[in-house]
Amino acid sequence: MKIVTWNCNGALRNKTDALDALDADVYVVQECENPALSTSKYQTWAGDYLWMGTSKHKGLGIFPKKGNKVRATEWHGAFSQPGVSNSSLASQWTTADLKLFCPFILNDEYQVLGVWTKAEGSKVFRYIGQLWKYLQIHRKQLCRNKTILLGDFNSNRIWDKPDRWWNHSDVVEELNAIGLSSVYHQQTLEEQGQEATPTFFLQRNLEKSYHIDYVFVSEDLMGCSSVEIGNQDQWLSVSDHMPLSLSLEAVS
């Protein structure tokens, strides 16, 4: 099983050939347009897809290939900060308040959460803060075997702030506590914030490279998982992000 996550930097309708070269079973694509409102060629390529977005031009798409099947799961819930009595939106939130998190079931076997953290609509809990909020509601759903969390987190430990409790490091720690670990970091033995291989090049500038895309898997999958990051020489002409390819050996 091969699952690819990639922020396509828009206009996926013109970039499907690049993805096809990866020969994946499922593509989790950030910043792609809604196939239903695009070209017939793109609609045909998308197949039996899942898609969500805040505009028709930019969303999160799940595209199964080679006979694989994906089924959306409906996760709903709410969270409020214990000990906080005011009604501020900063102290309580619902799943509906958090955009571009797509939980789905792959082949009735794997539980997958596709992620594209955004900044829109939030001046405080931006990017990784959105994932932190999502975890407060759905930690129990993610604490299961055969679980995969992957996507564009727009985050790295280097941007942690001392007066914030929803830092990148805090999210990684919470994920580890429920049995989800980064395949890349387990594979390379690199520390968070010290990644040698970037996944993103700001303005496609080689001098502004960062590691902000991730694949986390549950403990039972780690031993049969490996991840490969696309090479900038091949992908930078197509997107500012590199694709991450998760390979999973069959598990019982």
**Which residues neighbour 13 within 8 Å (Cβ) at sequence distance 6 or greater?**
33, 38, 39, 41, 42
pLDDT at 89: 60
pLDDT at 76: 84
Angle 105-25-190 from CA coordinates, rounded to 5°: 85
In a 10 Å sphere around its CB, with 0-12 CB exposed, 13-18 middle and 19+ buried, how is residue 199 labelled? buried
> Domain map of the chain by residue range?
2-248
| pLDDT value for 172 | 97
pLDDT for residue 34: 97
Of 3.40.50.720, 3.60.10.10, 3.40.50.300, 1.10.3720.10, the CATH number of 2-248 is 3.60.10.10
**pTM of this structure:** 0.94
Per-residue pLDDT at 251: 57
147-169 pLDDT, tens digit per residue, is: 999 999 999 999 999 988 889 99
Is 161 buried (19+), middle (13-18) or exposed (0-12) by CB count in 10 A? exposed
**Residue 82: per-residue pLDDT:** 72
| Matching residue, tokens 């490279």 | 209
CB proximity list for 16: less than 8 A, separation 6 or greater: 42, 45
Dihedral Cα 184, 189, 190, 196, nearest 10 deg: -60
Q: What is the pLDDT of residue 71?
A: 97
Q: How many CB atoms neighbour CB 130 within 10 A?
A: 28
Which one-letter amino acid corresponds to residue 171? V
State the pLDDT at residue 36: 95
Tens digits of per-residue pLDDT, 177-227?
999 999 999 999 999 999 999 999 999 999 999 999 999 999 999 999 999
Average pLDDT of adjacent 10-residue blocks, the chain of 252 residues: 97 96 98 95 96 93 97 86 62 81 97 89 75 94 96 97 92 97 98 98 96 98 97 96 94 54
Structure tokens at 15: 């970039």
| Residue 176 phi, psi (nearest 5) | -60, -35
